[in-house]
A and B are shown apart, each in its own frame.
Chain A
Amino acid sequence: MQKQTFKQLEEEIYFETLENGLTVYILPKPDFNKTFATFTTKYGSIDDHFKPLGEDEFTRVPDGIAHFLEHKMFEKEDGDVFQKFSMQGASANAFTSFTRTAYLFSSTDQVTKNLETLIDFVQAPYFTEETVEKEKGIIGQEITMYDDNADWRLYFGAIQNMFHHHPVRVDIAGTVESISHITKDHLYQCYHTFYHPSNMSVFIVGPVDPEEYMEFVRANQASKTFDPPQQIERKFDNEPEHVKVAHNELNMEVQVSKCMVGIKSIEKNISGDELLRKELSINTAFEVLFGKTSDYYTDLYDRGLIDDHFSFDFTQEQNFGFGLLGGNTPDPVKLAAEIKEILLKEAQNPTITEKKIDGVKKKNIGGFLRSLNSPEFIANQFTRYAFNDMDLFNAVPTLETLTVEDIHTALKDFIKEDRITSFFIVPKSGGENE
C-alpha cells in the first residue's frame, strides 16, 4: 500500500493495485460521520463498439446498454440490493456517464458490511429474460421523463449538433426503441468485457483506518477468481473535425427560450498532463471571458440576454470533448451570435490578461478547498481523473503554472468557425399561458 501526503491541505491518500488489477484508493476523513465509497468501471454509454472478452470480432451493442446494465445490477435472485443496503443503514445509488458506470453507497454504520455488499453485488451479475423485459418499462418511463426535461434536451441537442458518428451523441439511456433490442446475453457480454477488476477502481472516503480497509478489500478479492486481465479493444468511427450541423432547434412546452452554443474539440487521443492542461486552460479562458466578474457577462446580463443561470463548461475525455455555453434567454438568436463572436474574436486577438488569470487561479484554489469538504466530490472526481491518467490533487498546482500564452494558444487551437454550433429550445407558439 502506498501513501501520498498533501501537507498544506492536511489530507492523505492511500492506494494499491491488487493482484487481479483492481485499484483501491482510501482517503481518511476522521472527523466525518459518514463513509462514502464508489466502485467504478471505465465503461460508459460511448463504449458501444468493442471486441467482447475472448472474441476476435468487433461487435456493436444497442444504445443505452451501459445504463441498462447499471439498473439490472441491482436485481439479484434473492431480491433487490437497494433493500439490503437500506437494511444496513446505507443509502446506495449508481450512475452512468459517457465514460463511466459508478456504484456507490454512503453510510454511518456497518460500513465494512456495506462495502462488502457493494463489491459483491457488482461482481455477481444475475440477469434473466424476464427481469430484463420488466426493466424496459421502468427505463422507458425514465427516458420519457427526460424527454420532457428542457435542459436535458438542450444539452443533448447541442451535442448531437456537434458529432456525426461519435457515440457521445447518443442519449446515455438510449431510446425506447433501442433498449427494446437488449437481451440478457448482451448484458452478460458487456458485463464480462468491462467489469473485469483491472478495468475498475474502488474509492473509499470517511472515518476509516486505511490498513484495515485495504486488507478487507484484498481479502475479499482474493476469495474470488477472475480471468487474467486483458486489454479491452474499443472502436470509434472516424469523426470529422467540423460540426454535423451549425444550428438546430426544438419546440417545447416552455415559457422561456434556451440557447446553447457548443464547440467541438478535435482531440482524438489525449490523456494525462496534456489533458489536464487542456481542460484547465479552456475552462480558465471561459471563466475570464464569461464569469460573473467579466465585462461580457455584465454586458449580456445588463441587456437582459442572460440570467444568473448562464453557465459554461469544457469537458475533455480521451477521444471526445466539447465546450458548452448558454442558458435561458429571451433572444436565443442574438445570444448565440454574440457568444460566437466573442469566442472567435478572442481566438484571433486575445485580450485575456495575466491579472484576470490570477483572479481565476485564486478563485479556483479556494473552490478546490471547498470541494474537499465533499466526500462525493473527492471520490467521483478522483476516479474520473485517474481513468484519464490524471491526478486530482495535481489540478491546482498545474493551474498555478498556466501562463497567458498557454491560454491564448489553447483558445486559438480550439475555437474555429466550423466547429461551433448552436441549439435552441423555443416555446411552442400560441397559448403561452393557460
Chain B
Amino acid sequence: MKINQTVSRQQGLSLRIVQTKKFKTNQFVFKFRSRLNENDVTARALIPYILQSSTKKWPTTADFRSHLDELYGAGASVDVNKKGEYHILSFAVDIPNERYLKDPTPLAKEALNVLKEMLFNPLLEGDSFSPKVIEQEKRTLKQKLQALKDDKMRYASQRLVEEMCKGEAYALHPNGSEEKLNQVTAEELYKAYRNMIEKDTVDLYVVGDVDSEAITSYCQKEFHFPEREPVTKPDVKSINTTDAKEVVESQKIKQGKLNIGYRTNIVYGDDDYIPLTVMNGLFGGFPHSKLFLNVREKESLAYYAASRVESHKGLVVVMSGVEPAKVERAALIIEEQLQAIQNGEVSENELNQTKAVLKNQMLETLDASRGIVEVLYQGEVADAPVDIDRWFEKVDAVTADHVIAAAKKLKKDTTYILTSGEE
C-alpha cells in the first residue's frame, strides 16, 4: 500500500499531488493553518465563508453556484477546523474527470481557476469586504454557533473542552464565539484575510488522475503566496494537571450526557502515539471496545459510550449519553474499564481485533479522496510525514505491554455532566 505523492515547494506554497485512478472526480484542497488565537479566531472563521460567497467575477452565491453547475456540478466547499492548537481553514473543489463524460472539455484547470478566484479575487470595496456580505456571513455563523448549542452531543463535547482546557488555546471553538462575532470589524476581517494569504502555512492537495506537470506550472504561474516563516509549533505538553474536577450543568432534556477528559501528553508523531490509538481502540473506539460492551451492552446504561483521541493535543475524551439518574453508575463503570486495561486486562483477542479494525479503518479512509488528504495532512501538521507501510508495521508491533503503558498515561482531568432540570 503506497500513496503516490509528489511534493513541490514554491515560495509560500507546498503543492502535493497524489496520482490515483480510483476516483471519477479530481479533488483539490487548499489548507491554511495558523495558531489558534482568541484574538482572531472568530474573524478567521468568517473568511472562508466570505470568500466563497462573493468574488469580483461571481458577486453573488447564485453566480458562483451557476458557474459550478456549468462545470458539471463541481463541488466547492469550505471548512473551518482545529487540529490541536492550529486553526485550519480549508477550501476544496471536487470536479468530474472529463474522461467519464460525453463532453471532453478538460476540467482540472477550471477547478484551479475557481480556487484562484475565491482566494485572490474577493469582492472588495476599498480595503474591505462588502458590508452586505459581511453582515450575511456573520448572521450565518451566528446561527451555526447557536445550532451547536442545540446539538447536545456536540455541545457536551465542546463544554468539556472549554472547562478542561480553560486558558489554553485548545478551549477555543474553531468557529469562535458569539460574543466576538458581534464585535468583529471590517478592518479585522480584512486583516485576517491578508494574514491568511501572507502568513499562514499553505498546502494544496490534488488527488486524482491528473496531469501533474500542467498543475505544477499553473500553480507557479497563478498562485502568488509570498515567502514566509513557518508557523511556530504550539507547545501542548507543558500543562500542569491539578486534581480532577467535575462540572455539572442542567437543561430541560431527556437524555443526560457524561463526558470525561483525560490528559495523556502523547501526541501524533510520538513513539507511544500508535500504542495510544490501539489502547483507545480497546477502551472505547469501536463497537467491540470495553466501553461499548460494558456501559451499553452489559448494563444497558447508555445508548452510546465511546472514546476518542485528540491526536494533536494529547487528550483522550470519553463521550456517553445516559439516563440522568444513572450518571454516577455509568461514571463508575467507565472508570473501571480504564482501570481494567491499566491492570493488564488486555486479551490477545481484543488486541488483535483492535489492530485489525484500525488497519481496516485506515485502508477505508484511503478509499476516499478527502480521506487521503486528511491522512496526509495529519502527518504534515505534526511534522511527521505519513508512511503508510511504516504505519502498518507500527500497529502490528504494538504489544499488550505497550497498551498497558499507554493506558497508565491517562490522567483524569475533567468530568462534564449535562443533566435534566428535574431534580
Contacts and interface: CB of A to CB of B under 8 A. Distances in A.
B354 to A, nearest CB: 8
Given A31-B21, A34-B364, A366 B73 contact: yes
B146 A256 contact: yes
A150 B304 CA distance: 18
B13 interface: no
Residue of A137, A366, A372 with highest tally of chain B CB at under 10 A: A366
B356 A109 contact: yes
B112 to A, nearest CB: 17
Given A9-B24, A294-B62, A373-B25, A90 B73 contact: no
Contacts of A109: 356, 359-360
A342 to B, nearest CB: 16
B287 A86 contact: yes
B25 A138 contact: no
A381 B356 CA distance: 29
B136 to A, nearest CB: 7
Given A87-B353, A292-B65, A256 B72 contact: no
Contact of A33 (B65, B303, B364): B364
Interface string B294-322: 00110010111000000000000000010
Interface string A132-164: 001001100110110110100000000000000
A209 interface: no
A105 to B, nearest CB: 10
A102 interface: no
Contacts of A292: 61-62, 65
A86 B147 contact: no
Interface string A349-374: 00000000001101111110110111
Interface in B204-250: 249
Contacts of B146: 255-256
A417 interface: no
Interface string B50-73: 000000000011100110111111
A254 interface: yes
Contacts of B101: 8, 365-366, 369
A88 interface: yes
Interface string A248-274: 000001111000000000000000000
A360 B69 contact: yes
Contacts of A291: 65
A150 to B, nearest CB: 6
Contacts of A134: 300
Interface string B347-359: 0010011001101
A87 B72 contact: no
A74 to B, nearest CB: 10
A31 B20 contact: yes
A92 B352 CA distance: 17
Contacts of B352: 87
A366 B259 CA distance: 42
A148 B152 contact: yes
Contacts of A32: 22, 367
The A interface, classified by DSSP as helix, strand, loop or mixed, is mixed
Contacts of A434: 249, 251
Interface stretch (A17-25, A40-48, A221-229, A298-306): A298-306
A144 B360 contact: no
Interface in B314-361: 321, 323, 349, 352-353, 356-357, 359-361
A89 to B, nearest CB: 4
A82 interface: yes
A82 B287 CA distance: 7
Contacts of B368: 373-374
Given A91-B361, A108-B364, A138-B296, A86 B303 contact: no
Contacts of A90: 360
Contacts of A9: 24, 100
Contact of B65 (A86, A147, A293, A295): A293
Contact of B254 (A34, A148, A256, A373): A148
A145 B255 contact: yes
Interface string B6-26: 000000000000001111110
A10 B95 CA distance: 17
B143 interface: yes
Contacts of A137: 300
B1 A293 contact: no
A296 to B, nearest CB: 10
A373 B369 contact: yes
A39 interface: no
Contact of B357 (A91, A138, A142, A254): A91
Nearest to A427: B150
B150 A255 contact: yes
B288 interface: yes
A10 B100 contact: yes
Contacts of B359: 89, 108-109
B252 interface: yes
Contacts of A87: 288, 349, 352-353, 356
A427 to B, nearest CB: 9
Interface in A319-366: 328, 359-360, 362-366
A293 B66 contact: yes
B139 interface: yes
Contact of B72 (A148, A362, A372): A362
B176 interface: no
A50 interface: no
B297 A150 contact: no
Contact of A8 (B100, B251, B356): B100
A297 interface: yes
B251 A34 contact: no
B74 interface: yes
A130 to B, nearest CB: 13
Contact of A253 (B21, B147, B252, B321): B252
A147 B100 CA distance: 44
A403 interface: no
A34 B365 CA distance: 9
Contact of A86 (B62, B254, B357): B357
A308 interface: yes
A428 B252 contact: yes
A364 B73 CA distance: 7
B300 A138 contact: yes
Q: Which 10 A-B pairs have the closest CB atoms?
A: A366-B73, A366-B72, A89-B356, A363-B73, A255-B146, A141-B303, A137-B300, A33-B363, A108-B363, A292-B65
Given A144-B303, A366-B101, 20 more contacts: A31-B20, A31-B22, A32-B367, A33-B366, A34-B367, A91-B361, A91-B364, A141-B303, A141-B321, A147-B254, A148-B255, A293-B66, A297-B62, A298-B62, A304-B139, A359-B69, A370-B75, A372-B24, A373-B23, A373-B369
14 contacts: A8-B102, A80-B297, A82-B288, A87-B349, A91-B287, A137-B300, A141-B303, A253-B253, A308-B140, A365-B72, A366-B72, A369-B100, A370-B73, A373-B23
Interface of B: 1, 20-25, 60-62, 65-66, 68-75, 94-97, 99-102, 136, 139-140, 143-144, 146-147, 149-150, 152, 249, 251-255, 286-288, 296-297, 300, 302-304, 321, 323, 349, 352-353, 356-357, 359-361, 363-364, 366-369
